[in-house]
Structure 1
Amino acid sequence: MTCAVSAHGHAHHLPCVRMRFLYVFSRSKIGSGARLISVCYFESENDWWVSKHIKKPIRSTVLSLDWHPNNVLLAAGSCDFKCRVFSAYIKEVDEKPAPTPWGSKMPFGQVMSEFGGAGSGGWVHSVCFSASGNRLAWVSHDSTVTVVDPTISSTPSQLKTEYLALLSVTFVSENNIVAAGHDCCPMLFSFDDGGNLTFISKLDIPKQSIQRNISAMERFRNMDKRATTEDRNSTLETLHQNSITQVSIYEGDKRDCRKFCTTGIDGAMTIWDFKTLESSIQGLRIM
């Protein structure tokens, strides 16, 4: 995919891995296998989209991206096990940004913060800023969830889960995040004002299994969803029957999410209502 050419007129043909449009739809950013981030903006004089590249110090494919609420900073997670916060300030396009907890000097491509690596961790599958922009969460291939808030500490809080790797994460309030991945079930985590990160609950209630004969149609569906013709014994106790690849807000926003959506490799899209979840899961409260 070629979304735009560089300022020098060169098109890049390595695969686009992740793309995010800015909230005001004036710019977008693309992470690619070329170990760079393309920050694209519309140049009205030439009636064309052009891009500026952030290359250093990225050492591998960029897997995940998220815009900061100020529309200038962006977070990126990559296969070099690093999560970074960059400045995407373009003087010709943006108003001068106000100082943030991530820093005050923001020339284009400036690394505001860098986390992870040093021989540990895993591919950073998903990154997400909170509604205030003061908190950043990410999930990695080593089954960890990490949150950092520079107003509390420059050291991230990390939780090593007992589950398979999580592939997507989003804030549903300033203190709560939902993540999901290869366990086929969304999970709720809490990050309090003291900087403590804790696992709260799985958000999918297991279904009771029903013994029955498998039909030809179900066998075909199994081939499509799970790449298998196995019978009922392979049916998971979760709504999703394969890995969840994306968690997104369906109703509300990152400050007060009322419903969220999950999509997975099984081809299913599920809407989750927090009011329903709170009534069905004992002790669950979204703060």
Structure 2
Amino acid sequence: MSQSPVQSWDLGIGPIYCHAFNKDRTQLAVSSSNLIQIYQLQNGAWKEVYVLKEHDLPITGLDWAPNTNRIVSCSQDKNVFVWTFDNGNWKPELVLVRINRGATTVKWSPLENKFAVGSSAKLVAVCYYERENDWWVSKHLKKPIRSTVTAIDWHPNNVLLAVGATDFRARVFSAYVKEVDEKPSPNPWGSKMPFGQVMAEYVAAGWIKSVSFSPSGCRLAWVAQDSTLSLVDANQDIQKSATVQTTHLPYATILWVTENSLVVAGFDCSPMLYTINNGTLSFVSKLDVPPENKNANSIFQKFRNVDRNALETLSDLQLKSLHQNAIVQLLPHTGNTQNIVKFTTCGSDGLVALWDLKNNRAVVH
């Protein structure tokens, strides 16, 4: 890896819906359709090494467990698969997820002994492995969710689950499964945590796009379609949330980089850094670099040909940012949960980018 503050790769597969890395970050799984394409990092470039074919409709979520080396995928086809690498091949196991609408998002728990699946069926399926029957089963978080689940995130204690939905609510549920979990200890979110218990609920003015617990698990942040970023600190007042109304286009994803700072990104096509001082969210900067001067993709080229008289050069069509379309996902890359040094983005423009926070000489807008 070079020391550039930003590296980017165009994988040439079209808009990327989701991506995930293995433990040592030498392999990358992405999806832009109903296929999972796995790439190996070779000499600074990504080379395709596996294509996983099991889903019938577009894949909406991927997560790669670092320690067990298992991939979980979910799709609009209502199916969820756990992929295990065995004898040089990836083998799928179908999960008994029991949903009658498409899945929207999926994430492994911190201990990797269960995972959560959001869906359009107004529920979250909490899935775990049942050894007696040798299959993956699920329990459902339903009430009081009244619409499509769009975002989930696990608390560091492996029990609490943050859920965002299009009913304009961000909630914290207990996802305690006695078959696989030890009895949870009391924490700022509550002391009694039976499965399905709603620990907290917050109202937004738009549907929730992403939710995320801080490294300590005491803070919860979420972004909504009304261009807001919100925060609650359970140590201060679990009932009171602080909301920042931004002037940017809506954010779609959140990543905590320290306990007091987070990065958000979305339809403005640039990562943006916020910090927390005395419980107050403050915008720091928009981090980005100008796009490289090279041939644009075919869509831009076609547009240029159609509108040749109105545009002098191809650069007139380019945004002044590295990503040329919405950023859909942020992931940690280097560092630990308390201090993320590098993170990655993927977007609807087909780019995967690696951002270096410690060596950031990027243009700040």
Normalising by structure 1, we get a TM-score of 0.87
> 2:171 & 2:108 partners in 1: Cα distance?
18
Change (3 A) 1:244 1:223: farther
Q: Which of 190, 202, 216 is equivalent to 2:275?
A: 190
Match of 2:284 in 1: 200
The answer on 1:222 being equivalent to 2:313 is no
Match of 1:64 in 2: 151
Structure 2 contact 287–362 (Cα < 8 Å) conserved: no
Q: What's the % identity of the aligned pairs?
A: 45
CA offset digits 1:119-139 (Å, max 9, x no partner): xx1111111111110011111
Match of 1:27 in 2: 114
Change (3 A) 1:47 1:168: same
CA offset digits 1:132-176 (Å, max 9, x no partner): 100111111000011111112231111110000000001000000
The answer on 1:163 being equivalent to 2:163 is no
Map 1:107-122 onto structure 2 (within 5 A).
107-117=194-204, 121-122=205-206
Map 1:1-287 onto structure 2 (within 5 A).
1-3=78-80, 4-5=95-96, 11-117=98-204, 121-154=205-238, 155-192=240-277, 194-206=278-290, 218=296, 220=298, 222=300, 231-277=314-360, 279-280=361-362
Structure 1 contact 67–129 (Cα < 8 Å) conserved: yes
Residue identity in the other structure for 1:34: A
Residue identity in the other structure for 1:236: L
Normalising by structure 2, we get a TM-score of 0.69
Q: Going by fraction, where is strand more abundant, 1 or 2?
A: 2
Structure 1 contact 222–229 (Cα < 8 Å) conserved: no
C-alpha root-mean-square deviation of aligned residues, in Å? 2.2
Structure 2 contact 248–268 (Cα < 8 Å) conserved: yes
Structure 2 contact 344–353 (Cα < 8 Å) conserved: yes
Change (3 A) 1:221 1:89: same
CA offset digits 1:208-254 (Å, max 9, x no partner): 9x7xxx9xx63515369x99976321101100000000011110133
Q: State the Cα distance separating 1:91 from its structure 2 match.
A: 1.7
Match of 2:65 in 1: none
Structure 2 contact 221–230 (Cα < 8 Å) conserved: yes
Residue identity in the other structure for 2:151: S
Match of 1:285 in 2: none
- DSSP 3-state at the match of 2:358: helix
Structure 1 contact 36–53 (Cα < 8 Å) conserved: yes
Structure 1 contact 20–30 (Cα < 8 Å) conserved: yes
- DSSP 3-state at the match of 1:170: strand
Greater relative CO (CA pairs within 8 A, separation 6+):
2
CA offset digits 1:171-224 (Å, max 9, x no partner): 0000000000000000000112x211111100114469x7xxx9xx63515369
Residue identity in the other structure for 1:218: A
> 1:34 & 1:252 partners in 2: Cα distance?
36
> 1:188 & 1:218 partners in 2: Cα distance?
28
Structure 2 unaligned spans of 5+: 1-77, 81-94, 308-313
